[in-house]
Chain A
Amino acid sequence: MNEGIDRKLITVDSVAEGLASVGYIPSRQIATAVYLAERLTKPILVEGPAGVGKTELSKAVASYLNLPLIRMQCYEGLDEGKALYEWKYGKQLLYTQILKDKLGEEMRSASTLKEALTRLDSIDDIFFSERFLEERPLLKALRHPSGAVLLIDEVDKADQEFEAFLLEILSDFQVTIPELGTVSAVVPPIVFLTSNSTRDMGDAIKRRCLHLHIGFPDPHLERQIVEVRVPGVSERLRLQLVSFVQQIRGMDIKKLPSVSETIDWARVLLLLHADCLEYDMVRDTLNVLLKFEEDVDAVGSQVTAFVHKARSEAEGCL
């Protein structure tokens, strides 16, 4: 890790401030996690409901540290060829075709079969060298000269075999490529794994990671996030809309609104030139906040009460 980055991550507070400077307001726990991840060179496994900023966190870290973000989206059936490396078959083929004559020449000058074979051997190595190696995200992250932020997104969607394959990379920051040998990281990347808990991660992988659970933010934090993300929103509206969303989270519905939905909603309200929550406006824009028809219905019946409470709470704060 170069010196600039070291300095940027010197304390938990500096991490928190730094992330805030690129538009990500971390909770104390999140900042601690990033700080420790760098200190101990350990990957972070981030879990939590959708839309609370798991993926966003790694983007923020990358832009704060000025490192490239290398992202790998996991899905069922993801394998080494797509995650780690692949040979450029086409190029290999093309080159052998073009160099056919040259090869023939080389071979002709060989006097014995043994000699020809030795020459062929040396050529073979040429075709399986760096030149023909197609880097996939994991290898790219390991070999990046200045280090990188590696985001392994939705690792729970990948197969368990793939999880096992990740272990070597996560604990030693190295991978073994049969034709080339072991590749170790130049600078260990900062690794984030995210999971939506569609299935439980294996113990082995959990053991190697710091485990960060990002839940829904408390009102104070959420207000800060809205303030940074949607700067045009007036303070009154901000207080009211956050209070409203927080009340919805207390309900028993299919999909609770996340921070990302709160931000979207704040943007919508801003576009509608709202200064405070109006009953009708809230009803009309509920579909931004809620993703299921039943949820919209359920919350719709509560709008009056929620808006009323949000207003009085906001007045109390102002």
Chain B
Amino acid sequence: MFAHELLVRFLTTLRASGIRISVAEELDAMLVAEVVGYKDRSLLRDALGLTVAKSLEEKKIYEICFDDFFNREELREKLASEKEANGKSGDDNGSSTTLGQMLLDGDRSGLLLAIELAANQVGISQIRLFTQINLYAQRILEQMDLGGVQAEIGTMRRFGSPQMSQQADQLEIALENLGEDVREYVRRQFEVFARGEPDRIRDGFLYQMRLGSIKPRDKARLRIIIRQIARRLATRHARVLRKKRKGKLDVRRVIRTNIPNDGVLFRTAFRLKKIQRPKIVAICDVSGSVASSAEFLLFFLWNLREILSGVRAFAFSSDLIEVTDILDKLDPEEATKKIMNSIGFGATNYGNSLSTFRKNWMTIVDRKTTVIILGDARGKRTEPRIDIVRELSERAKRLIWLNPEQRQVWGTGDSDMLRYKPFIHLAKVCNSVANLETVVSDLLEAERHG
């Protein structure tokens, strides 16, 4: 029974660290633990790992958690048995409360055990938010009879014999140390039990937040969200694509497949519709003014390439380069970094960049191509070359402009957005991940029907 509880606690820890474990898997884990037993630690580690951690990332987390958890368990058991051994022999040292005695004795192992016990009683595993740490620490201290010891200190001071007040001082110092210990303990438990929780709350925020205003520390998290979205879109897209491929009855193939049946038509064969490979040319502004969102736009571009084959990607600030290869070869993080380093953060020049595109790549844009431009259309009062945008618009199937700025400020200051706008088939605000998802989803939809 004890082992069973231990396992449940361990699984809670794992869940809290971000490993997804379903109820079915929990049952499996128990079965596994029963089969292999708890004695052989490394066997248990391997066996449970096979059952609950279902990807390479999860396995890494799992291994760290396992070692952490069971080392702590071992320590706890040792403490408990030590206490058993010298429990009753404690002599009276002036304090009437158990906590007071332990404090005066400097019985560290006893104190740690008491913290554990008290923590379980106040339900430490329910901790979810960083701000709850002090609250839980206070509750644990109270559970450990902090009040009793404080009262005792009061009494000692009042009776005022020098020996007594010296002991009171001692107790006070010890209490302070204890408070630190408890807070530290709660902090660690918070790490264990609530690691996944704030993520979930934060994900919700990040999804809606303006790309530009996302803090650097949240970037890693945002990348994960984008990755998930890309994957979601990819699966949805792929399925519909397959379904739509079934075309008319192919009479010739029907006859051929049924030759073995003596020409009697048992099986039908259908022609496959030719799928129009969506051709997408994405041109992404990575200049200083949009730098904060550019990183994510590039990252999204990278993921887009995974969903749709045949995306050609370009990046520009003062001039334009093709980045398809970079996105192809490198990880999203490295690719983004490399692109930003080679061309990012410059002074924007839409005219110059567009004319470079026209000179070298205009031929790849044809009637089947969708051109997406990601940028704020702020050219620092350089020549906007509206004519090129018009040419793009005429050549391409669709020209889509995704602008990270709010619609109200389009055309204000040095923004040429309104001058470009007449030639754009679809101009959209794109400043949060949520936005990005709808835009790309629409895009995929349009490609299919296109």
Shortest beta-carbon distance, A50 to chain B, in Å?
15
Sample of 14 more A-B contacts, CB < 8 Å, known A89-B260, A200-B231, A207-B24: A12-B36, A29-B46, A32-B47, A33-B46, A36-B50, A36-B51, A42-B28, A44-B50, A45-B54, A93-B262, A93-B266, A207-B22, A211-B55, A213-B56
Shortest beta-carbon distance, A81 to chain B, in Å?
9
In chain B, positions 233-279 with a C-beta closer than 8 Å to chain A are 235, 238-239, 242, 260-262, 264, 266-267
Number of residues in A with C-beta < 8 Å to the partner? Answer: 28
Bound-complex Cα distance A207 to B49 (A): 13
User: Provided the pairs A160-B235, A207-B22 are in contact, do residues A90 and B260 lie with their beta carbons within 8 angstroms?
Assistant: yes
Is the beta-carbon distance between A40 and B50 smaller than 8 angstroms?
Answer: no
Is the beta-carbon distance between A32 and B53 smaller than 8 angstroms?
Answer: no
Shortest beta-carbon distance, A47 to chain B, in Å?
7
* Contact partners of B36 in chain A: CB under 8 A: 12, 32, 36
Report B35-60 CB contacts with A as 1/0, cut-off 8 Å. 11000001100110111011110010
Is the beta-carbon distance between B261 and A211 smaller than 8 angstroms?
Answer: no
Report B434-446 CB contacts with A as 1/0, cut-off 8 Å. 0000000000000
* Contact partners of A89 in chain B: CB under 8 A: 260-261, 266-267
Q: CB of B173 within 8 A of chain A?
A: no
Q: CB of A206 within 8 A of chain B?
A: yes
Partner of B35, one of A33, A36, A47, A212: A36
Bound-complex Cα distance A45 to B231 (A): 21
Is the beta-carbon distance between B35 and A40 smaller than 8 angstroms?
Answer: yes
Shortest beta-carbon distance, A27 to chain B, in Å?
9
Q: CB of A302 within 8 A of chain B?
A: no
Q: List 29 A-B contacts (CB under 8 A).
A: A28-B46, A29-B49, A32-B47, A32-B50, A33-B46, A33-B50, A40-B28, A40-B32, A42-B28, A44-B50, A45-B54, A47-B55, A89-B261, A89-B266, A89-B267, A90-B260, A93-B262, A94-B262, A97-B262, A159-B242, A160-B235, A203-B22, A207-B25, A208-B24, A210-B51, A211-B53, A211-B54, A211-B55, A213-B59
| 9 A-B pairs with least C-beta separation | A211-B54, A32-B46, A206-B54, A210-B50, A29-B46, A90-B260, A89-B266, A89-B261, A39-B35
Bound-complex Cα distance A29 to B49 (A): 9
Q: CB of B31 within 8 A of chain A?
A: yes
In chain A, positions 14-59 with a C-beta closer than 8 Å to chain B are 28-29, 32-33, 36, 39-40, 42, 44-45, 47
* Contact partners of B20 in chain A: CB under 8 A: 203
In chain B, positions 50-78 with a C-beta closer than 8 Å to chain A are 50-51, 53-56, 59
* Contact partners of B50 in chain A: CB under 8 A: 29, 32-33, 36, 44, 210-212
Is the beta-carbon distance between A40 and B25 smaller than 8 angstroms?
Answer: no
Nearest chain A residue, comparing its CB with the CB of B56:
A213
Is the beta-carbon distance between B47 and A160 smaller than 8 angstroms?
Answer: no
* Contact partners of A12 in chain B: CB under 8 A: 36, 43
Shortest beta-carbon distance, A216 to chain B, in Å?
12
* Contact partners of B55 in chain A: CB under 8 A: 47, 200, 211, 213
Task: Give the secondary structure class of A's interface.
Answer: helix
* Contact partners of B47 in chain A: CB under 8 A: 32, 36
Shortest beta-carbon distance, A48 to chain B, in Å?
9
Shortest beta-carbon distance, B261 to chain A, in Å?
5
Nearest chain B residue, comparing its CB with the CB of A37:
B50
* Contact partners of B59 in chain A: CB under 8 A: 213
Shortest beta-carbon distance, A255 to chain B, in Å?
13
Bound-complex Cα distance A294 to B24 (A): 47
Nearest chain B residue, comparing its CB with the CB of A87:
B266
Report B18-32 CB contacts with A as 1/0, cut-off 8 Å. 001010110010011
Bound-complex Cα distance A207 to B29 (A): 11
Shortest beta-carbon distance, A313 to chain B, in Å?
27
Bound-complex Cα distance A40 to B43 (A): 16
Bound-complex Cα distance A28 to B46 (A): 8
Bound-complex Cα distance A126 to B46 (A): 51
User: Provided the pairs A211-B50, A211-B53 are in contact, do residues A28 and B261 lie with their beta carbons within 8 angstroms?
Assistant: no
In chain A, positions 80-110 with a C-beta closer than 8 Å to chain B are 89-90, 93-94, 97
Bound-complex Cα distance A44 to B50 (A): 9
Shortest beta-carbon distance, A16 to chain B, in Å?
12
* Contact partners of B264 in chain A: CB under 8 A: 93
Bound-complex Cα distance A207 to B24 (A): 7
Bound-complex Cα distance A208 to B27 (A): 12
Shortest beta-carbon distance, B287 to chain A, in Å?
30
* Contact partners of B43 in chain A: CB under 8 A: 12, 32
* Contact partners of A97 in chain B: CB under 8 A: 262
Nearest chain B residue, comparing its CB with the CB of A254:
B329
* Contact partners of A94 in chain B: CB under 8 A: 262
* Contact partners of B262 in chain A: CB under 8 A: 90, 93-94, 97
Bound-complex Cα distance A89 to B261 (A): 6
Shortest beta-carbon distance, A188 to chain B, in Å?
15
Nearest chain A residue, comparing its CB with the CB of B22:
A207
Bound-complex Cα distance A200 to B306 (A): 13
* Contact partners of A36 in chain B: CB under 8 A: 32, 35-36, 47, 50-51
Nearest chain B residue, comparing its CB with the CB of A211:
B54
Shortest beta-carbon distance, A318 to chain B, in Å?
29
In chain A, positions 230-271 with a C-beta closer than 8 Å to chain B are none
Shortest beta-carbon distance, A88 to chain B, in Å?
10
Report A191-228 CB contacts with B as 1/0, cut-off 8 Å. 00000000010010011101111000000000000000
Bound-complex Cα distance A316 to B91 (A): 59
Bound-complex Cα distance A40 to B24 (A): 13
Bound-complex Cα distance A36 to B34 (A): 11
* Contact partners of A200 in chain B: CB under 8 A: 55, 231
* Contact partners of A211 in chain B: CB under 8 A: 50-51, 53-55
Shortest beta-carbon distance, A187 to chain B, in Å?
20
* Contact partners of B260 in chain A: CB under 8 A: 89-90
* Contact partners of A208 in chain B: CB under 8 A: 24
